Chains A and B, each alone.
Chain A
Amino acid sequence: MTRVDTYPTHKYNEFNLRHGNPLPFGAQIVSGGVNFSIYSTHAASCELALFKKREKEPYAVIPFPDEFRIGNVFSMIVFDLDYEDIEYGFRMDGPFDFAQGHWFNRSKILLDPYAKAIGGRDVWGREPDWKDSYQYRARIAFDDFNWEDDRPLEIPMNDLIIYEMHVRGFTRHQSSNVRYPGTFAAIREKIPYLKELGVNCIELMPIYEFDEFENSRISPVNGERLMNYWGYSTVGFFAPKAGYAATGKYSMQVDEFKALVKDLHSHGMEVILDVVFNHTAEGNENGPYISFRGIDNKIYYMLTPGGYYYNFSGCGNTLNCNNPIVRNMILDCLRYWAAEYHVDGFRFDLATILGRSQDGSPMNNPPLLETLAFDPVLGKCKLIAEAWDAGGLYQVGSFPSWGRWAEWNGKYRDDLRKFLKGEEGFAGAMAQRIQGSPDLYNPDYRGSCASINFVTCHDGFTLMDLVSYNWKHNDANGEGNNDGSNDNYSWNCGVEGGTEDYGVNFLRRKQIKNAVSMLLLSRGVPMLLSGDEMGNTQFGNNNAYCQDNEISWLDWNLLNTNHDIFNYFKKMIAFRKAHPAVRGMDSNRGGFEDNGYPGISWHGARAWSADFSSFSRLLGIMFCGKRKDASGITRDDFVYIAMNMHWEMHGFELPQLPEGFSWHVFANTDMDSPQDIWEDGQEKPLGNQREVLAGPRSVVVLVGK
């Protein structure tokens, strides 16, 4: 039966129109036409500009008739549009009054905040026509997709192993040997590699449409073009980046990204998106009109009483996250990615901003964070906060969570790095971190699942650089080496940068293996930085946000050079998966297993006696739990980790095992590969069952079986 509202009621020039549906916002394909809907409180009028794809001038500008506005929403159905080959934008008229926060300018073509696909940067790095007055062009996307029986995987947090990745950097290097380097499609080609490594969750650095040419410039140091490579500057929250899709030139980025998610899911891997809601690409008072500024500046941005932009993001403006309109937009956006793209979770960049009120002050119970925590559609999504912002608010351990939010545990990273480099007195801190940071995440409330543990992430040194450089080397960024963090807690093992010195290189590899052993044998959720498993270097650059070149791109040849590192990562990941006692549940924290052993116990040079003094560089930990053996019988399981971060060898007296059990060596980072780590089940019996010797700056992992 045909609906009665599928016929035009109005005409404007050759266009047939009728009243639109105010909800949902954006452009929707409806029977016979397209429904356009956009909100603005302060606009006096609105026009729809229609373009043929990639043409500079609109072929039509259709005013929204007054009678088509409901409340503060302009909506209209335009019939008979060739919706695959058009782009659209809006023009808004209203007051221009800086002090009042109004920036209306009817001459500007504005991007729909709800645009589901965006053209203008269809192919990464292709120089845009800067004379084009409409740079980022809304397109109409098909929402349907052949998902078959796919849905988000809902892997328990305890079992998650996250792999943080830059879409382009992962495969852009020619050594990646993929068909369309640097794209979503190329990640699919690398799924067998990711499976072999063993990770079960891919966290993608921003994939919302951004402009790689934003603030683009030539490096005065090496003449390279510097780009907005990382993409922490959103142009459109609802649109996947076209330039990351091999099919972006055909505007098929939506389908290509969905195909990636579906394929990853079918191989047991979740997808988490790194989302940037703290600011937009419109910058400060000198930035361009892209969208929000011309639609309702005062609503979308936090403004000082004088009308200037607050800058809690460090990027020129701050999205007004706890304004009810903006809050709804963020919720709509996340629901869209969860429902339409089957995304498994989100990591929120500078999430602390999401808890600031409209005047910038921190709130006790920020409505946005609460809404996201309890939203039905997001009910099983992972919500991960980067719990600080550029305004100086640091909330690691205290981010408002309602038991739902996890955090990037910055304290984990810092304490592990200090312990790793041999700073004295960090054994106690390390004990907290390894057991899931109960000092930060109350086991009775949030527990260790709230702790995303990491040693490295995109922001900072790679793991190889952490053990190869004492100082950052960011000159190529063209900022006089003033950008990037100075607090790296790194140690170069004796020589700054690359070296042929065997001893230094052996120590570096050992330190990498030490670090990943601690990370993967900690409770909480481990996160690896893509490339660390092959010893990737950024040549000491700890802030490669603008480096679209070999500084950032993974060199897959390193898999051969550093095969021992890859092998170590792979086996340690498999070990974590095979030993539930390591991953742990908060329910057995501090308690005893039925064999009388505690779930976690602390040791040192003497068993049952850890040295947490201010001079200590030694820590032994034993996990006790259950695991199924090869024949499916559940047995007691013991894992002992001796961590000696002193530069001399030390003996660790071992706890006595129950009768019938004995200690076996699973890993010893002081050994050359392949004797450094063994297959699950192939661990070597330990000669002296009373004591294990850990070499200088070494980790030894034992299993009791």
Chain B
Amino acid sequence: MIGMKISSQINEGITVFVLDGRLDVNTSPAVEGELLKAVAPDCMLLIDMSKCDYVSSAGLRVLLVIAKQLAKAGANGALLGLVEDVRDVMQMTGFDNIFKNYETFGEAAQALKGAGT
């Protein structure tokens, strides 16, 4: 079974999670658990997807749940560096409007900080 490495760091006040691997039914519970721990009022959360080359139906739903929880907490989140195939899948399945995707950390940081003010 191919797993997923989840790492995180705080950069410019933004909690950045790097998802390295496949986001599917096997790895989704861990991703959900880790990321939801970071959800707090006014937090800024960035999910670096540049090393995630596959997101399954379960994975899409985890991203949606995180987005909903962020919204509930009045916090902001974004995606970073979606690979083309994953971006296409999210668009075609209607999961593309839950998070905005940015190509660079700088763009994402600017947007997240801007949204919070």
- Where the two chains meet, the residues of A that have a C-beta atom closer than 8 Å to any C-beta of B are 82-85, 141-142, 144-146, 179-180, 183-185, 188, 245-247, 250-252, 254-256, 258-259, 262-263
Contacts and interface: CB of A to CB of B under 8 A. Distances in A.
B57 A255 contact: yes
Max chain A CB contacts within 10 Å: which of B58, B64, B93? B93
A142 B94 contact: no
B43 interface: no
A178 to B, nearest CB: 11
A184 B94 CA distance: 12
Contacts of A254: 57
A187 B21 CA distance: 32
29 contacts: A82-B26, A84-B25, A84-B56, A84-B57, A84-B58, A85-B25, A141-B57, A142-B61, A144-B61, A145-B94, A146-B94, A146-B95, A146-B98, A179-B88, A183-B92, A184-B92, A188-B92, A245-B92, A250-B56, A251-B57, A252-B57, A252-B89, A252-B93, A255-B94, A255-B95, A258-B93, A258-B94, A259-B94, A262-B94
Given A246-B92, A252-B89, A258-B93, 17 more contacts: A82-B25, A82-B26, A141-B57, A142-B58, A144-B61, A146-B64, A179-B88, A185-B92, A247-B92, A247-B93, A251-B57, A252-B57, A252-B92, A254-B57, A256-B94, A259-B93, A259-B94
A247 B86 CA distance: 10
Interface in B37-57: 56-57
Contacts of B57: 84, 141-142, 250-252, 254-255
B56 to A, nearest CB: 6
A4 to B, nearest CB: 23
Contacts of A256: 92-94
B57 to A, nearest CB: 5
Interface string B77-103: 000000000001101111100100000
B19 interface: no
A83 B56 CA distance: 12
A251 to B, nearest CB: 7
B109 interface: no
Most buried by A among B24, B57, B64, B91: B57
Nearest to A81: B25
B60 interface: yes
Central interface residue in A83, A256, A262, by most chain B CB within 10 Å: A256
Nearest to B89: A247
A252 B95 CA distance: 12
Contacts of A85: 24-25
A247 B59 CA distance: 14
Nearest to B68: A146
A185 B88 CA distance: 10
A379 to B, nearest CB: 26
A263 to B, nearest CB: 7
B8 to A, nearest CB: 25
Contacts of B25: 82-85
A263 B93 CA distance: 11
Interface of B: 24-26, 56-58, 60-61, 64, 88-89, 91-95, 98
A184 B89 CA distance: 12
A140 to B, nearest CB: 10
Contacts of B60: 255
Contact of A180 (B56, B61, B64, B92): B92
Contacts of B64: 146
B87 to A, nearest CB: 12
A347 to B, nearest CB: 25
A79 B43 CA distance: 37
B25 to A, nearest CB: 4
Contacts of B24: 84-85
Nearest to B54: A250
A167 to B, nearest CB: 14
B98 to A, nearest CB: 7
Residue from A185, A188, A255, A258 whose CB has the most chain B CB atoms within 10 Å = A255
Contacts of A252: 57, 89, 92-93
B99 to A, nearest CB: 12
Contacts of B61: 142, 144
B89 A263 contact: no
A145 B88 CA distance: 17
A255 B61 CA distance: 11
Contacts of B88: 179, 246
Nearest to A255: B93
Contacts of B92: 180, 183-185, 188, 245-247, 252, 256, 259
Residue of A141, A246, A262 with most chain B CB atoms under a 10 A cut-off = A246
A85 B57 CA distance: 11
B45 to A, nearest CB: 19
A180 B91 CA distance: 12
A389 to B, nearest CB: 37
A259 B26 CA distance: 25
A262 B96 CA distance: 13
B26 to A, nearest CB: 7
A82 B58 CA distance: 11
Contacts of B56: 84, 250
A250 B89 contact: yes
A82 B2 CA distance: 13
A82 B24 CA distance: 10
A126 to B, nearest CB: 18
A146 B67 CA distance: 11
A141 B98 CA distance: 21
B54 to A, nearest CB: 8
B22 to A, nearest CB: 11
A179 B56 CA distance: 21
Contacts of B89: 247, 250, 252
> Top 4 A-B pairs ranked by shortest CB distance?
A259-B94, A255-B93, A84-B25, A185-B92
A82 B57 CA distance: 13
A378 B111 CA distance: 44
A250 B56 CA distance: 7
B104 to A, nearest CB: 25
Contacts of A82: 25-26
Nearest to B67: A146
A259 B64 CA distance: 14
Q: Find the residue from B57, B61, B88, B94 having the highest chain A CB count within 10 A.
A: B94
Contacts of B94: 145-146, 255-256, 258-259, 262-263
